């Protein structure tokens, strides 16, 4: 399944956009101007979603119940400088990508998302998935709620990071789960929970 790894640029830890300004400017953006993203953009967005913030304890940018980290992050690349179109899994501890499949799957992913054209038009889609049993084996059924809380926080991190990069995104929750799972070749224990198209602001 995983073919090779791609190292990502080191994430920056400061910007000219304050958290207050990012909150003020955060919107759900469904239209993007043509143009590629950079590998630096991709790495920064993925780090915002699930990047490591404490190397010894493995803490991440989004809090996790019991520090069990049920989320996985995928980059569906279509137009990214220095990155061939394909599906890539984010490896938080290495800040790297592992290639899952080759080829541009954005059109098919948009069809899986009930024809939402912004999924096809965005140069990048970030897909957040969850392995529920990582959390439910400790917290039982209550763990399902904890996973859903965590996905919301991770997605908001992506929103705010997109603002700081001058980009736009939107939370897409309407899609056919099994089709997205098949298209991204997800392991059987993973469930897709959201798609975040990312592109340049019009």
**Are 196 and 170 contacting, i.e. CB atoms less than 8 angstroms apart?**
yes
Query: What is the model's pLDDT at position 2?
Result: 47
| Rounded Cα gap, residues 175 and 172, in angstroms | 8
What are the domain boundaries of the chain?
Answer: 5-200
pTM: 0.97
Query: What is the model's pLDDT at position 4?
Result: 82
Low-confidence ranges of the chain (pLDDT < 70): 1-3
Instruction: Report the DSSP pairing between strands 5-7 and 191-200.
Output: unpaired
* Alpha-helix residue ranges (DSSP H) falling in 26-141: 39-50, 106-112, 117-121, 133-139
CATH class for the domain made up of 5-200: alpha beta
Chain Cα centroid distance, residue 175: 16
Query: What is the model's pLDDT at position 96?
Result: 98
């Amino acid at each position: 399944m995983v073919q090779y790894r791609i190292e990502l640029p080191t994430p920056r830890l400061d910007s000219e956009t304050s958290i207050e300004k990012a909150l003020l400017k955060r919107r759900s953006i469904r239209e993007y101007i043509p143009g590629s993203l950079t590998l630096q953009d991709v790495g920064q967005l993925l780090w915002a979603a699930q990047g490591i913030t404490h190397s010894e304890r493995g803490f991440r940018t989004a809090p996790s119940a019991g520090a069990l980290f049920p989320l996985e992050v995928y980059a569906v690349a279509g137009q990214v400088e220095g990155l061939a179109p394909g599906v890539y899994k984010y490896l938080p501890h290495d800040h790297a990508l592992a290639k899952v499949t080759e080829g541009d799957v954005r059109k098919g992913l948009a069809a899986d998302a009930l024809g939402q054209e912004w999924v096809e038009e965005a140069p990048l889609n970030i897909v957040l998935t969850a392995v529920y049993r990582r959390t439910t084996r400790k917290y039982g059924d209550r763990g399902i709620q904890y996973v859903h809380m965590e996905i919301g926080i991770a997605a908001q991190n992506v929103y705010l990071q997109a603002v700081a990069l001058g980009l736009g995104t939107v939370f897409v929750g309407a899609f056919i789960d099994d089709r997205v799972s098949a298209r991204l070749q997800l392991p059987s224990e993973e469930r897709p929970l959201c798609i975040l198209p990312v592109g340049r602001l019009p």
